[in-house]
A and B are shown apart, each in its own frame.
Chain A
Amino acid sequence: MSIENSIFIDFEELNQKIFKLFKEKKKSFVSNLESLIKDVINNVIKS
C-alpha cells in the first residue's frame, strides 16, 4: 500500500467537529480551527 493510500482522514467526523466548533466558539473559530486541523494532520503520524 502506498503512503498516500495508507493515510485516511475521516471527513465526516472532521466536519462534525468543525460545525461544533463553529457553534460553540464563534469568536475564536479561526484560531481553534487551526489547532483542530493541526491535530488531524499530526494524528496521521501516530496512526
Chain B
Amino acid sequence: MSLKVELQNIGGLRGKHSFSFKEGLNMIKSPNATGKTSLLNALFLLIGNEQIPKSELEDYLTDNEVAGYVQLLDSKGKKSEIRLTRDISKGVNLTKIDINPDLKSDLAYFVIFLRDKSKLNQGIQMADDIMIENWFLEMTKVNIFHSVWVTAQELLHQIEINVDILTEKQQEDIEPIEKLIQEKNNSLKDNKRRKQEIIDDPTNQKNQRRIKELTKELKDLNGELRELKYKILDRKDKQEPEYKKKYQDIKTQINLLQEELKNIESKREVLLIEKKEWEKKLISKSNEIKVIKKKNTEQGETKREVTNEINRLEKLKDRSVCPLCDSEINKQGNKELLEKNKLQLKKLTDDEVKFETKLKTSKNEMKIAQDKIKEIEQEIKYSPEAIEDDINANNNKLKEIEKLLNQIKNEELELEHKTNKIEQNIFTKEKELKNCLNPEVQEEIERISYVISDEETEIAHLQLKKTSYLKNNLELSKMKKRLIAAEKITSYYRNRVETIRKNMVKKINNKLEKSFKLLKLAELERITLDPDHFKLDIQRIDKTYTSLEKMSGAERALISLIISYIVKSTLLPKIPIFLIDEVTSEMDDTRFEDTINSISNEIPYLIVSRHIPFKGEKTIISSKDIMNNF
C-alpha cells in the first residue's frame, strides 16, 4: 500500500521529481529551502485544489516556468493529475486532467493542512473561532443551508424596507382622515357636554324628576342604538364584502370552467370533422385496394394466358409442321409472335410489381387512417361531463352564497327598522325632555342636538372611509405576506444551521473529553468548545483556566494540532491524508514525537515536514529523504 507522486515545476521543486509515501507516518526531514513545503503544496494542489483561490495559484508554480504538473497514483492504481499553466494575461490556471472521483470525494474535503506557520508565530491561532467556523462551513450540508439562510435573510431585508415604505405611504394617506376624526370627536364631546350642562342646570328646568327619568332612558336608548349601528356596520362592512368576494371568485371559476368546456366542445367539433375526413380517406383507400386487387387478378389471368401461349410457341419453335394438325408452320411468324408475347409477359410482370407496391402503400395509408380514427375516437370519448359537474357544483355554491347574502340583507333591514324605531323613540323622548326645560333654552338644545347628529353621521362616514382604505391597500397586504414567508424561511434555515453546528460541537466536545492522552501531552485537564461563540475553554492540569493568547508558542502549536485533528476526525468519517507542514517546529522533540505517534495510529497517510538545522551539507528531497517511521 503506497501513494506515488510525480511532479514538475511546483514551488521550489524545479524540474521533474518522484516520491512515494508508505502507509502510516511519513516524515520529511530536511534543512530549509529544500522543497518540503513545495512537496506538501503539490499534494494539496491535487487533493484540496477546490480550497485554493485562483489568485493564490501563482505561489504554486515555480518562478519563470510556464507549466507544471502533479500526478498521484493511489494504492488501488487509480491516477489523478492536475496541470498548472502560466498565461501572461490571465495568470496561472489549474486544469484537472484526470481526477479519480474516489480520491476527490474521499480526500478533497477531508484534508487538513496545517501550513501557515507565520500565522501561528503572529499569534493567530489555527484553532481560533473563525477557523473552526470555516471548517463547519466547509461541510456541504451546512454550506447549503447557510447559503439559503443568508439569501433568505437578504431578501427579508429588502421586503422589510418595502413594507416600511408602503406603511409610511399608507400612514401619510390616512393621517388627514384620522386628524379630521379627532377634530370631529372633540367637537362632538364639547357639544354633548354643553347640551348636558344646559339640561342639568336647575334654572333651566321645569320638571326635575321627569328630566332625571328621561335622561336615564335616553342613555339606555342611545347605548342600544350604538349597538345596532355597530351590527349594521359589521354586516355592511365585513360580512357583505366577504361573501361578495367569494361570490366573485366562484363566478370567475365558473367562467374559466365554461371557457374550458367551450374549448373542449370546439375541439370536439374539429375532431369530428377530422374524423370524417379520415373516414372518407379510409373508404377511398379501401376502394382503391379493391380496384388494385381486381386489376391484379385480371392481369394474373392474362399473364397465365400469355405464359401458356409462350410455352406453346416455344414448343413449336423448332418444328416446321404442327404436331396436332400437320399443317405447315410459319416459323418467322411464330418467332415474331413469341417475341411479342415475351414482351407482353415482361410488361405484365413489371405491372404486377407496380401493383404490389401500390397495394402496400394503400394498405399502409389505410392503416394510418384507421389509427387516426381510433385516436380521434379516444379523444372524443373524453366527455365534458366532469367540467359540467364542476360548473353545477359551483352554481350551487353561488346559490348558497346568494341565499346568505339575502339573509344578511334581511337582517340589515330588520336592524335598520329597529334603529329607526329607537331613533323615533329618542326623538320623542328628547322632545319631552325639551318640554321639561324652560322655553327659552329649548331652541338652543334643539340646535345643539342637530349639530351632534350631523357630527355623528360625519364621524361614521370618516371611520368607514378609513377602514375601507386600510382594507383596499392590497399592495401592502401582499408585501406583508411576503415578509411572513421570508421570515419563516430565514428562521427555518437559521435553526437548521444552528442545530447542525451545535450537534457538531457536542460531538467534538465528547471526543475532546475522551482524548486523555493528547490532553496529557499538552498538560491540560480539559478543553471544551463553547457552542454559542466557538471559543475554547482551556483548563490546565492544576485546574486553572487559561486562553490560547496566554500560552507559549509550543503550547499553542500543540493545542492547534490537537484541536485540528479532533475537529476533522469528529466531523468526517475518515481522514485518508493528513498534511502537517512545519507548525510543530516550536515543540521539543519528545513532545512532538509523542503527539505525532498518537495521531498517526488513526490516519492511513500522515505526512509531516520538520525542519532540521542546516549542518553545512545540503539535502535535496527525494524518495530517500522520506523516512518511514522516524
Contacts and interface: CB of A to CB of B under 8 A. Distances in A.
A34 to B, nearest CB: 5
Nearest to B144: A22
A9 B481 CA distance: 12
Contact of A34 (B151, B478, B480): B151
A3 B480 contact: yes
B482 A45 contact: yes
B152 interface: yes
Interface string A4-41: 10010101001000110010000001100110011011
Interface stretch (B269-277, B375-383, B486-494): B486-494
Interface string B154-172: 1100010000000000000
Interface in B157-210: 159
User: A-B pairs with the 5 shortest C-beta distances?
Assistant: A44-B485, A41-B485, A45-B478, A41-B482, A7-B484
A33 B147 contact: yes
Contacts of B261: none
B479 to A, nearest CB: 9
B529 interface: no
Nearest to B482: A41
B538 interface: no
Interface residues of B, number: 19
Contacts of B571: none
B374 to A, nearest CB: 39
Chain B contact residues: helix, strand, loop or mixed: helix
A40 B151 contact: no
Contacts of B147: 29-30, 33
B485 to A, nearest CB: 4
B155 A33 contact: no
Given A33-B151, A34-B151, A44 B482 contact: yes
Nearest to A14: B489
A38 to B, nearest CB: 7
Nearest to A5: B484
B144 A3 contact: no
Contact of A18 (B148, B155, B480, B485): B148
Given A7-B488, A9-B485, A41-B489, 10 more contacts: A3-B484, A7-B481, A18-B144, A19-B144, A22-B140, A30-B147, A34-B151, A41-B482, A41-B485, A44-B482
Contacts of B488: 7, 9
B148 A37 contact: yes
Interface residues of A, number: 20
A37 B492 contact: no
A11 B492 contact: yes
A19 B481 CA distance: 26
B535 to A, nearest CB: 30
A19 B154 CA distance: 20
A40 B148 contact: no
B151 A45 contact: no
B155 A3 contact: no
Interface string B447-490: 00000000000000000000000000000001011101110110
B484 A37 contact: no
Contacts of B159: 41
Contacts of A38: 155
20 contacts: A3-B481, A7-B481, A7-B484, A7-B488, A11-B492, A18-B148, A22-B140, A22-B144, A30-B151, A33-B147, A34-B154, A34-B155, A37-B148, A37-B489, A40-B489, A42-B482, A44-B481, A44-B482, A45-B481, A45-B482
B152 A37 contact: yes
A33 B146 CA distance: 12
B480 A9 contact: no
B108 to A, nearest CB: 14
Contact of A4 (B154, B478, B484, B492): B484
Contacts of A30: 147, 151
Nearest to A6: B481
B152 to A, nearest CB: 6
Contacts of A44: 481-482, 484-485
A37 B481 contact: no
* Residue from B154, B478, B485, B489 whose CB has the most chain A CB atoms within 10 Å: B485
